[in-house]
Structure 1
């Protein structure tokens, strides 16, 4: 039997009052009925790709990328979609990518209205025309939405989702939303500006607020970065600043990526809400911040091989790399040390502890590779096949439930109850399949991880390899490294710096 895949995605043209799940379920029902009637088969769950993210481009949509990878195996007869534009409404590059993938893998695009074979010149032109029309529609809709957003801002509406500290967002009807002072936090907002002008640092101001029991919106404690953002936000002078940064597509290392680009002339709408500070005070603060700005470190060489990987086990913040700066050795400490009890330690201790943890993984993978039971693999695959057959039986029962509703055997309440039970049963069975599938040993992946671990250990032992090279390689297969230390190390000056410690605990999570 020919193998077909199904691709589901919500579009802007769908009912905005329906959730993504409701739209996808409706389209799945339409396509399953079509598959039963015209293809003499039901599309199994593992062949259904549901795109729940709202990405405009192929790069932003993981499910369609998985779909294309499977199509390249040349085992897929066709892909079912409600209409061709569900595949993409992206730019010309995306349209070309879709056309190439379907044409050169000889995969059909199957819709309830028509089946397209892109090896046929007329079908190719027809699909190309539909995709281009979808791209034009997307550009048009984005332009209309941007105009509406700009008009709303010019009318004085505050659109950002986050409300600035010191204010509350008030809504009037469906269109009007503006800021009003929050009686509980507005006085402390003024205090932040006043204390900074008195000479207090952002760090000291944050400590004051913590001592007073005043919390920021998004965290438990104040960070100096948060204080600096507040001190540089014009919203407190009674105006709205829009389009300060614009998301643009740029070519980065040969790939199209979205980057935030600061705009030379952001849109400023004055007197949209009550000001908490005067323009004069705001200008004085900006001048003082500019005069206190620290010198930029011109050396951009990465010193920390675990940048973005090493996290505090206690609070989850990043571990900071501290150079010598008058000390004898480099060290690591928690960036939230003010509130965290995790202790700092020498960089060499961290290196050796991570190497030892990688060695444990290395030994585990060695045992897995040499002692994998092939019979166990076959048994689990057989279990999956049995569960898939049960899934098909549930789908057949669902079809009969629909038939019973149509011929009057079931009332609407009976239909809803029975269908809900079958859906729950199906989800439970699918979870069992996923669980068994994840437990099936994968020797090839294990061998790759074994090689990665070996290479990582050798790299960490080699001082000639740069921290940047080490960091890039470690990030390719390590998700996070957790650090924990509660007790101080004891050493005498004669013995030299501590390089190993039983007090340090390292936990490595692989990808």
Structure 2
């Protein structure tokens, strides 16, 4: 069909998997470039040349395979279905979606029922034209197969690199640097810290004691500004410090648009032993892992993990950090504790049943549509002596004062 002109259009920009890989390689060569900025310039030039009126620009900052992973695409399709524009300008048809046939059908219906055109630099697709559905379906299948081939080549390259003893993680493991050949070399400042962590754990110190020691020394953690107990566990269990490269312990799959993590058996892992200089010996690794496993853990039912029912709700009143649920052998009930080593709170934690009781008490007061102020509710909870009658009496006094002020 002839290319239309002077339409109200949206511009949709999205990076493909290939674009992400090319940007990464360019950054490694110190020649970074922005794919979306390049596409934006080209599409704006197309719009100017054909006299279109741009209503909005939707820029997807993530490279999601499925439509459910791309909020900007979802919002654009919603407005397309409402007939907000006459066309959508994209670089290629596969930029709208490379997901499964469900996504392809959703996109096709949105453009067909709203009679909206898909405009690319090389073609214009009218979803109501004869044979458009077949064309759209074929192009979607080709795009999907191309994506599979890209992923296959990408995973193949990663497996070959792992077999060659190269580090292909997002960033080098803590304690190492990575050279131009993707080989790991000890970090002059972080490597001694890793050795100290293994030494302390092997000597019987707990993870929290190690965290406090590192924080007292002002050691910067791998992520964020605070050391976590989980970080210590990850370091202790990581065989990279023995000089080994192991790849393929887990497999990531997508089901219903959600990423699912699946642990793979050891016989499917890719191992390259002695790929780089080790920071610890096998004896030190075994001793630290034995000590870590030997520390007491809260008993749980088979297949059921210990979970905090107030996770993300209860926070430390001093540092505002989420409280961590722990169990000890000398107490029958779990505790919620602040594990921030820098927190200056005198009261480091509270029993979980007591915290649940206070939460339920506060909800009961709020559910009764209490006119009490936040200070009065806090006072009533802190005292722990007031029952429902006393709360109602305070409500009566508060309402009486309000009524008196209104009648004056």
Q: Above 0.5 in TM-score?
A: yes
SS of equivalent to 2:54? coil
Report how far residue 247 of structure 1 moved.
0.8
The reply to whether residue 226 of structure 1 matches residue 231 of structure 2 is yes
- Spell out, residue by residue over 1:307-353, the C-alpha distance to the aligned partner (whole angstroms, 9 max, x if none): 324444653421346899999999865342x4213555763555666
The 5-angstrom pairing of residues 383-394 of structure 1 reads none
Residue 308 of structure 1: which of 297, 312, 317 is its match? 312
State the alpha-carbon separation in 1 of the partners of residues 226 and 168 from structure 2.
26
Q: Residue in 2 aligned with 1:386?
A: none
- Across the aligned residues of Structure 1 and Structure 2, the Cα RMSD in angstroms comes to 3.9
Report how far residue 272 of structure 1 moved.
0.9
| Distance change (3 Å), C-alpha of 1:77 and 1:221 | closer
State the alpha-carbon separation in 1 of the partners of residues 107 and 154 from structure 2.
27
Query: Given the two structures, how large is their TM-score scaled by the length of structure 1?
Result: 0.60
Report how far residue 133 of structure 1 moved.
1.4
| Distance change (3 Å), C-alpha of 1:244 and 1:189 | same
Residue 110 of structure 1: which of 119, 130, 138 is its match? 119
Q: Residue in 2 aligned with 1:480?
A: none
Q: Residue in 2 aligned with 1:71?
A: 80
The reply to whether residue 90 of structure 1 matches residue 105 of structure 2 is no
Q: Residue in 2 aligned with 1:317?
A: 321
State the alpha-carbon separation in 1 of the partners of residues 369 and 201 from structure 2.
44
Residue 341 of structure 1: which of 340, 344, 350 is its match? 344
Q: Is the 8 A contact 2:9 2:53 kept in 1?
A: no
Report how far residue 227 of structure 1 moved.
1.6
Q: Residue in 1 aligned with 2:70?
A: 61
The 5-angstrom pairing of residues 359-370 of structure 1 reads none
The reply to whether residue 31 of structure 1 matches residue 32 of structure 2 is no
The 5-angstrom pairing of residues 36-435 of structure 1 reads 36=51, 41-44=52-55, 47-169=56-178, 171-172=179-180, 176-250=181-255, 255-265=256-266, 266-292=269-295, 294-298=297-301, 304-305=309-310, 307-312=311-316, 314-320=318-324, 333-336=337-340, 338-342=341-345, 347=355, 348-349=357-358
State the alpha-carbon separation in 2 of the partners of residues 245 and 77 from structure 1.
45
| Distance change (3 Å), C-alpha of 1:489 and 1:156 | farther
Q: Is the 8 A contact 2:13 2:90 kept in 1?
A: yes
State the alpha-carbon separation in 1 of the partners of residues 100 and 35 from structure 2.
23
State the alpha-carbon separation in 2 of the partners of residues 95 and 104 from structure 1.
14
SS of equivalent to 1:217? coil
SS of equivalent to 1:120? coil
- Spell out, residue by residue over 1:376-404, the C-alpha distance to the aligned partner (whole angstroms, 9 max, x if none): xxxxxxxxxxxxxxxxxxxxxxxxxxxxx
| Distance change (3 Å), C-alpha of 1:110 and 1:54 | same
The reply to whether residue 11 of structure 1 matches residue 12 of structure 2 is no
Aligned residues: 357
Q: Residue in 1 aligned with 2:395?
A: none
Unaligned runs of 5+ in 1: 357-456, 462-486, 501-511
State the alpha-carbon separation in 1 of the partners of residues 225 and 360 from structure 2.
31
| Distance change (3 Å), C-alpha of 1:53 and 1:122 | same
Report how far residue 234 of structure 1 moved.
0.4
State the alpha-carbon separation in 2 of the partners of residues 303 and 278 from structure 1.
37
Q: Is the 8 A contact 1:7 1:79 kept in 2?
A: yes
State the alpha-carbon separation in 2 of the partners of residues 13 and 491 from structure 1.
59
- Spell out, residue by residue over 1:257-300, the C-alpha distance to the aligned partner (whole angstroms, 9 max, x if none): 21111111321211111111122332333334333352442377
| Distance change (3 Å), C-alpha of 1:50 and 1:492 | closer
Unaligned runs of 5+ in 2: 1-5, 27-32, 371-377, 392-408
| Distance change (3 Å), C-alpha of 1:219 and 1:277 | same
Q: Is the 8 A contact 2:85 2:116 kept in 1?
A: yes
| Distance change (3 Å), C-alpha of 1:192 and 1:264 | same
Q: Is the 8 A contact 1:8 1:28 kept in 2?
A: no
Q: Residue in 1 aligned with 2:404?
A: none
Q: Is the 8 A contact 1:241 1:267 kept in 2?
A: yes
| Distance change (3 Å), C-alpha of 1:300 and 1:157 | closer
State the alpha-carbon separation in 2 of the partners of residues 27 and 154 from structure 1.
41
